[in-house]
Amino acid sequence: MTASSPNTPVVGLEDIAFATGANRIDLAELAGRFGVDPAKYYVGLGQSEMSVLAADEDIVTMAAAAAAPIIERHGTERLRTVLFATESGIDQSKAAGVYVHRLLGLPQAVRVVELKQACYSATAALQFAAALVARTPGEQVLVIASDVARYELHSNAEPTQGAGAVAMLVAADPSLIELEAPTGVYTKDVMDFWRPNHSATAIVDGKLSISAYQDAIEGAWEDFRSRGGAAFDEVDHFCYHQPFTKMAIKAHRHLAKVVGSELTQAELDAQIEPTTGYNRRIGNSYTASVYLALLALLDSDLDLTGERIGFLSYGSGAVAEVFSGIVRSGYRSALRSEDNRAQLDARTAIDDARYLQLLGDAAAADVHDVVHPQQTSAPFRFAGVAADQRQYEPTTA
């Protein structure tokens, strides 16, 4: 398989890393409070755990922690742009990436901007990054997706919360994934999910959101194919946005039916299952979700060399995009598979009472002036707010 003509620079993912919260809660804990069988979450949602932030963690600390190993490995000499995608914004004006810029000690000759469109915006950032690198192949772009998924306590959506960040380095002649040129896009004004300025939690119409997701993926796929994108049977694995992993499975079966695929249900599920491992344990990470799916696939035991991966990105409201990429030879040498699994295993298991306390403390915090004692062992921490200014610092040993 090939993705580029001889006159087009090969652009794609040079590196990828992730970070998540310090704590985890088994969804059986929530099932006990809700009075339901844990299988409702383990099987019905396809989720086993969700990450829970310590009081001194947020989208900035996770973003910096995800990006730090990439900067350590590649340096900053070629870095010219940081694109920070999130729907968990911490300021109505200042980009969260500017805080990350300082924490990582990046050069001043770097542009930083924040992008928002629900869970989709990391894909927009990736496409913008690829265009920048194609224009100037000597430059690199750091794309960061970082989010905290929060819903009303005791609501049906509560078990689909989570938190995580993925950082990706976009470069010419990449080590991991070569992005193919065709993309398919779709936008429709749908009120399936939104978060007003006055609310700390999202509002969601669950039934509408599922149908809007499927409609958007179908529309983006149609546009993708009309622009020369690969056929369904030319794609080996599919990475979907995963608000919960069962949603990706349902979406894939829906798309297969739309395109008339003759694959069995077991064969279709096998195209998805290797992408679900990390999202199943982290929960919903909004903009980072589809790229955690990619990371889980890359870290699997499968030999993906030369295989084509389809990406199906969705953001409520609603925007979707479909694109594809080819896994590069030697990709495993750029992975951190053992470290990734160790990071998930190192999270502190908490019970429902501690989980509710953490969420309650976060909701009650005085945003004008608050100090957070150190709780996280991650590289960076959110120390609090002084005179409406957020304070971030490296974590002390």
Q: What is the pLDDT of residue 87?
A: 97
Mind listing the pLDDT tens digit for each residue in 355-379? 999 998 777 666 788 999 999 999 9
pLDDT tens per residue, range 163-218: 999 999 999 999 999 999 999 999 999 999 999 998 888 888 888 999 999 999 99
What are the chain's domains?
A: 11-394 (3.40.47.10)
Q: What is the pLDDT of residues 138-153, one digit of tens each?
A: 999 999 999 999 999 9
Give which of 3, 363, 383, 341 is closest to 172, Cα–Cα: 3
- Specify whether the CB–CB gap between 119 and 286 falls below 8 A: yes
How far apart CA 243 and CA 210 sit, in angstroms, is: 10
Sign of CA dihedral 101, 113, 92, 201: negative
Read off the pLDDT of residues 236-293 as tens digits, 9 standing for 90 and up.
999 999 999 999 999 999 999 999 999 999 999 999 999 999 999 999 999 999 999 9
| pLDDT interval class at 48 (50, 70, 90) | very high
Compute the average pLDDT of residues 311-338: 98
The Cα–Cα gap between 290 and 360 comes to 29
For 264, which DSSP code? Answer: -
Query: How far is the C-alpha of 282 from the C-alpha of 163, rounded, in Å?
Result: 7
Q: Measured between alpha carbons, how far is 146 from 144 in angstroms, rounded to an integer?
A: 6
With 0-12 CB in 10 A as exposed, 13-18 as middle and 19+ as buried, what is 44? middle
Please give the pLDDT value at position 1: 46
Residues catalogued as catalytic: 87, 119, 241
pLDDT for 294 beyond 90: yes
Q: Is the pLDDT score of 6 beyond 60?
A: no
Mind giving me the DSSP string for 345-392? HTSEE--HHHHHHHHHHHHH--SSEEE------SSEEEEEEETTEEEE
pLDDT band for position 386 (cuts 50, 70, 90): very high
pLDDT score, position 314: 97
Supply the mean pLDDT for the chain: 95
Structure tokens at 186: 């779709």
- pLDDT category at 100 given cuts 50, 70, 90 is very high
